[in-house]
Amino acid sequence: MVTINGEPHDAAGQNLQSYLQDAGFDLSRIVVEKNLEIIPRDQLSNHVIQDEDAIEVLRFVGGG
């Protein structure tokens, strides 16, 4: 099981970029942390989600 934003998910074995796109994330507006390491946007496709990974997806929001 994988933890994504504090919730358990069955995503092990999936490509990180593909998972995020399938989940509806706009890759241009997020930062991804995997196991306490920031993953550069251009490296997302190089990472495969492993069992017991902890992933946090942070979204940019505008406001004033």
- For residue 44, is it within any domain? yes
Residue 13 CA to residue 4 CA, distance in Å, equals 14
**Predicted model pTM:** 0.88
Give per-residue pLDDT as tens, 3-48: 999 999 999 999 999 999 999 999 999 999 999 999 999 999 999 9
- For residue 64, is it within any domain? no
Across 1-64, the runs of DSSP E, i.e. the strands, are 2-4, 7-9, 30-34, 37-39, 54-59
- Specify the DSSP class assigned to residue 26: -
- For residue 34, is it within any domain? yes
- How many CB atoms sit inside 10 A of residue 33's CB? 13
User: Residue 20's domain spans which residues?
Assistant: 2-59
- For residue 24, is it within any domain? yes
Q: The domain spanning residue 24 has which CATH number?
A: 3.10.20.30
- For residue 45, is it within any domain? yes
pLDDT of residue 60: 80
Please determine, for residue 63, whether its predicted confidence score (pLDDT) is greater than 80: no
